[in-house]
Amino acid sequence: MRTDALRILLYSHDSQGLGHTRRNLALAHALARRLPELTGRPVTGLLLTGIDTATSFEKPDGFDWAVLPGIAKDFAGYGPRNLEIGMKHLTALRSGMIDAALFGFRPDLVIVDRHAWGVADELRGPLARLRAQFPDTRIVLGLREVLDAPAVTAGEWRRVGDLDGFRAVYSDLWVYGDRGVHDPVATGEIPAELAGLVSYTGYLSAGRPLGESVSEMTKPYIVSMAGGGADGMSLLTAAARAEVPHGYRHLVIAGPQMPAPGVDRILAEAGPRTTVVGSVPDALAEVAAAAAVISMGGYNSTAEILTTNTPALIVPRERPRQEQLIRARALAARGAVEVLRQRDLSARALSDWMSGAVGTVRLRHDLDLGGLHAVGGLAARALSETPRPVATPGGVPSP
């Protein structure tokens, strides 16, 4: 690797599911492809994740993983996923590891997924020190296109704190969505004061690597899936019970985070033409080959579905966040997907939808799905710009 390589660090906190890490991994692949041709420099990168199984995912050449001790989230808040230590101790440990990664790697570009200061402010100190010591470093906050109900996100931004302090650290805010489908600035999910930092990339959809279907399912078949699977039991048990249309088979993907007893329970509900697997190497390949797909409404699963012509039924999670429901409704309004509410979920409802969906296609060419191409240009522009002066706590630019 040449010593003039651009250094990119991508952070995700990863308290639930695989979505944050998968989004950053898609970005890493895109930037590794695009930035060398845009800047004339090779790219190397570090992916900070809280998912210990993330290292099994294929990373770009020149990138490596750094795994933080895991955290988990439930209705009571955050706590250690594995370590038998208190949350305060765990946060200090993670923050120290993040600090060491930032100053050891010295990135030119830092991309933080979703949470500006991480969990329990673990990023606040490290990022402020990095910005002060290396003011040429560009620090970007990347946000999915739907955050949550505006009343909820207002509270989250209050916890972020002084927006002048936010702007002193963050130079850009990338929204990974189509503004015509959902605009989080217009809804108030992003404060109006930050609108000048916002760039809309389009969905991180087109350009995701597509492998071959390896499930050995006999075509035609239908896929039901729930992302990582940690909270997909109700959907997948109903899907396993559903009556599969004549002439079709049914693949139920439990997800890599579904506990083994959960997979066994889904398997016990499955009919003779339904196959249940814990995971597949490439869910997108299965969706692209399927006659129809039933899925929860997480960002990555939805973004992948949008790249196909496969008719899709989204059954969004509605608690503790409204994010998936808002996304599903917005896409349904554009005719891209259909929606089934959790309160209406049943094996009969899924059976009826399957019967009507198979044999049809759903075109989605009117959506902006080019986010993975657009981020290369945004990153190249950010790296070429003169950074703003770093503000001290008193609001006076540092010399």
* Residue pLDDT, tens place only, 322-333: 999 999 999 999
Mark whether 88 and 57 lie in a shared domain: yes
Same structural domain, 148 and 265? no
Is residue 214 situated within a structural domain?
Answer: no
- The pLDDT of 18-37, averaged and rounded, is 94
Overall average pLDDT of the 276-289 stretch? 93
Q: CATH code at 287?
A: 3.40.50.2000
For residue 380, the number of C-alpha atoms closer than 13 Å in the C-beta half-sphere is: 18
53 pLDDT tier (thresholds 50, 70, 90): confident
- Residues 34, 66, single domain; the answer is yes
List pLDDT tens digits, range 143-161: 999 999 999 999 999 999 9
In a domain? residue 105: yes
**Tens of pLDDT along 175-233?**
999 999 999 999 999 999 999 999 999 999 999 877 777 677 889 999 999 988 888 99
| 26 belongs to a structural domain | yes
24 and 80 belong to one structural domain: yes
Whether 38 and 163 map to the same domain: the answer is yes
pLDDT of residue 325: 98
Do both 180 and 256 map to the same domain?
no
In this prediction, residue 393 carries a pLDDT of 40
Domain that holds residue 233: 221-357
- 184 and 155 in one domain? yes
Work out the mean pLDDT of the chain and round it to a whole number.
Answer: 93
Taking residue 169's Cβ as centre, other Cβ atoms within 10 Å add up to: 22
CA neighbor of 11 nearest in space, from 134, 94, 104: 94
Residue 1 falls within a domain, yes or no?
Answer: no
What is the band of 104 on the pLDDT scale with cuts at 50, 70, 90? very high
Instruction: Determine, yes or no, domain membership for 363.
Output: no
Helix (H) or strand (E) run with residue 241 in it: helix 233-241
Instruction: List Cα–Cα distances, 350 to 292, 307, 357, 363, in angstroms.
Output: 11, 23, 10, 21
Q: What is the mean pLDDT of residues 258-273?
A: 94
- 8 Å CB contact between 331 and 299: no
pTM, full prediction: 0.93
> In the structure, what pLDDT confidence band is assigned to residue 74 with cuts at 50, 70 and 90?
low
| Domain-located, residue 197 | yes
- Tell whether 256 and 186 lie within a shared domain: no
Cα angle, residue 53 at apex, residues 48 and 57 outer, rounded to 5°? 80
DSSP 3-state of 398: coil
For residue 277, list its beta bridge partners: 253
Alpha-carbon Rg for the chain, nearest whole angstrom, is 21
What separation in angstroms does the CA of 44 have from each of 138, 321, 331? 15, 35, 35
Residues 173 and 298 in one domain: no
pLDDT at position 398 is: 39
Both 63 and 197 in one domain: the answer is yes
Say yes or no: 185 and 134 in one domain: yes
> Are 16 and 79 within one domain?
yes
250 within domain boundaries: yes
In total, how many domains does the chain have? 2
CA angle at 149 for the pair 147 and 155, rounded to the nearest 5°: 85
392 within a domain of the structure (yes/no): no
